[in-house]
Amino acid sequence: MASAVHQVTPAEASADPQPEAVVVRFAGDSGDGMQLTGGQFTLSAALAGNDLATFPDFPAEIRAPQGTLFGVSAFQINFGSVSIETAGDAPDVLVAMNPAALKTNVGDLKPGGLIIADEGEFSKRNLDKARYPENPLDDGSLAKWQLLRLNISQLTMDAVKPFGLGNKEALRCKNMWTLGLALWMFDRDRQPLIDWLKAKFAKAPELAEANIAALNAGHAYGETAELGAQGVGQLHVPAAPVEPGLYRTVTGADAISMGLVAGAQLAGLKLFYGGYPITPASAILHHLARLKEFGVTTFQAEDEIAAIASALGASYAGSLGVTCSSGPGIALKTEAIGLAIMTELPLVIVNAQRGGPSTGLPTKTEQSDLYQAVYGRNGDAPVPVIATRSAADCFDCAIEAVRIATQYMTPVMLLTDGYLQNAAEPWKVPDMSGYTPFPVEFEARVPDEEEAFLPYARDAKLKRPWVKPGTPGLMHRVGGIEKAEGTGNLDYSPANHQAMTEIRRQKVAGIDVPDQVVEQGGPGGTLVVVGWGSTYGPITQAVRRARRQGLDVSHIHIRHIWPLPRNLGDLLRSFDHVLVPEMNTGQLKTVLRDQFLVDARPLNKVSGQPFRIHEIEAAIGAFFDGAPRNEGGTLSADDTQLPNPVAGHDDGSLRGKSSPQSA
């Protein structure tokens, strides 16, 4: 059979270049297995050598009513042959398993993007649940996107029919059919997924074979259905250049768990984790429970108070006490955190932030617990606060939290958030020989008969000695009532309380934290964007784009929230303007204004979703477009144009309006 051959010229190739990165979002009911589908597609991208970042987004309900708008579960992955910092602004491909998934996600799809819809689920009943008056697959409302409509439900049932499954069990395999099609689209190997299915369903081989059949059927459909006529073809995304080494994919919860274990080993301690289940913090308990061979003890307590009390008891007994929760649970733990401050015992408290207040948004992300971490206790009760910036960074931050806790005899708050907890990225497994041990020295010297043991004596760091209970001759009091300086006896006197309050403050203020570095740009200029936590990725990309446009903008990202780096004030004052993007209403902004008297301007987002690059990019552009600079002005990430004065704002504040969505 003769066929025409055309060799692509360099000019044609440059006119239609292959994308360096692709964003894919899988969306469906919370029972459709979208998180599993996304997770396995992530595995395939990692095995292909792509850099990647993911964003799982799911409802708070354990199983929301099927087909409803608030029951949609989604998983987004950005993967490519270049460095990937975020899960992507706008998807290139949206896989919608039902009308509700389409309605809640199609607005994010970039113009010209591809929709793959399971038309078998677009029944009148499901359309009504999604509040569609007409079928969007037929009424032309999706005209600005490519549409590939497939009866995935029926195709899946046909593929698994030989295995004798009922309709309900058969339809549970449609996520594997969809995954097979996605693997074909991006030229991915199926064998690792087949091996995974065989291991997952080792005790039910018929289910393994049914799911494998669905996976293969989806892949075969892509190969044989001539989808090119509908504008859908294969796209190979090459591997990203990386340093040689051993890599694995980690979530923030994985990295924190391993970092806590590594920190305990560097300190020469056993680790005790006392926790109580709460979203999104529970994953740390689940991970640590699998690491018992490394001297880890995990305890699921009856409530949040018991969880932190058990961890504090473990620290008193000579282990590294760790507890973890989210905002509501941290509130319940507050009194026990104060007890750890008063007794001056090491304790690591991980706060996986979520939307609040109260129960708030259990499965959505936010950065609204910074005030709680820095200020949220009765009395003058300072604790060191550290914030993680990425899933991989959680490992080093956990080690740093252990170092400070044990070297300064203090509780430490480690801030992460729902996005970082669940997001995944490649992580180069570090060589632990490059980490400096910080072994703990317990007090064991028995004082002479004429001298008394002083449990609140201080060294150069103002750290008191750590004594294991039962050590001969070193009996001492612990408790929440004010301690006498040196002896630790009860002492209510005004002078003693003044002295002890100052000592506790000075100890935390004097903690050795590294000087602040500038991530991009120089140490001075027109504008600096200051971030903390999971805003690192979108800020990095937004500043990089702005600098490519010739804008004088720099990026500072703060790991040590309290105490702040000693050079930070001078750095901030070397810039004309300071912009602070946060997923709250301006908490770090307030701290920076308070500590350094700089006119920090906030960019706020409290939608439960992470920042997009274009939102920060638009706010940066506003500083170079002649926008007014009123004292106390606020930029908001939720609007759609560049800043203009808003009528009725007597304080002269502004609401920044974001530019159209960037690619």
Identify the pLDDT of residue 129: 95
Asked which of 162-176, 507-521, 561-575, 640-654 is least confident by mean pLDDT, the reply is: 640-654
Identify the pLDDT of residue 232: 86
Return the percentage of the chain with pLDDT > 70, whole number.
92
Does 570 score more than 60 pLDDT? yes
Identify the pLDDT of residue 486: 94
Return the percentage of the chain with pLDDT > 90, whole number.
84
* Planar angle of CA 141, 142, 145, nearest 5 degrees: 150
Phi, psi for residue 166 in degrees, rounded to 5: -70, 170
Q: C-alpha 268: how far from its chain's center? A: 29
Binned at pLDDT 50, 70 and 90, residue 61 comes out as confident
- Residue 7: both structure tokens together: 């060799």
Does 649 score more than 60 pLDDT? no
Identify the pLDDT of residue 660: 32
Select from 348, 474, 477, 464 the least CA-distant residue to 404: 348
The rounded distance, in Å, linking the Cα atoms of 530 and 558 is 7
pLDDT per residue over 602-641, tens digit each? Answer: 999 999 999 999 999 999 999 998 643 434 445 555 443 3
- Tell me which CATH code domain 518-622 carries: 3.40.50.920
Q: Which helix (H) or strand (E) holds 644?
A: strand 644-645
CATH topology of domain 248-434: Rossmann fold (3.40.50)
The rounded distance, in Å, linking the Cα atoms of 655 and 603 is 9
* CA dihedral of residues 14, 19, 20, 22 (deg, nearest 10): 180
Contact assessment for residue 93 and residue 114, using Cβ atoms and an 8 Å cutoff? yes
Claim: this prediction has a pTM higher than 0.85: yes
Burial class of 587 by CB neighbour count within 10 A (0 to 12, 13 to 18, 19+) = buried
The rounded distance, in Å, linking the Cα atoms of 270 and 297 is 8
Asked which of 11-15, 180-184, 262-266, 525-529 is least confident by mean pLDDT, the reply is: 11-15
**Residues near 35 by beta carbon (within 8 Å), at least 6 away in sequence:** 56, 58, 73, 75
Asked which of 67-71, 375-379, 646-650 is least confident by mean pLDDT, the reply is: 646-650
DSSP state of 520: B
The rounded distance, in Å, linking the Cα atoms of 485 and 466 is 16
pLDDT per residue over 194-223, tens digit each? Answer: 999 999 999 999 999 999 999 999 999 999
- Tell me which CATH code domain 21-230 carries: 3.40.920.10
Binned at pLDDT 50, 70 and 90, residue 449 comes out as confident
- 248-434 shares the fold of 21-230: no
pLDDT per residue over 303-319, tens digit each? Answer: 999 999 999 999 999 99
- Residue 129: both structure tokens together: 């649940």
Radius of gyration of the chain (CA): 27
The domain segmentation of the chain, as residue ranges, is 21-230, 248-434, 441-500, 518-622
Show the DSSP H helices in 386-474 as ranges.
Answer: 393-408, 418-422
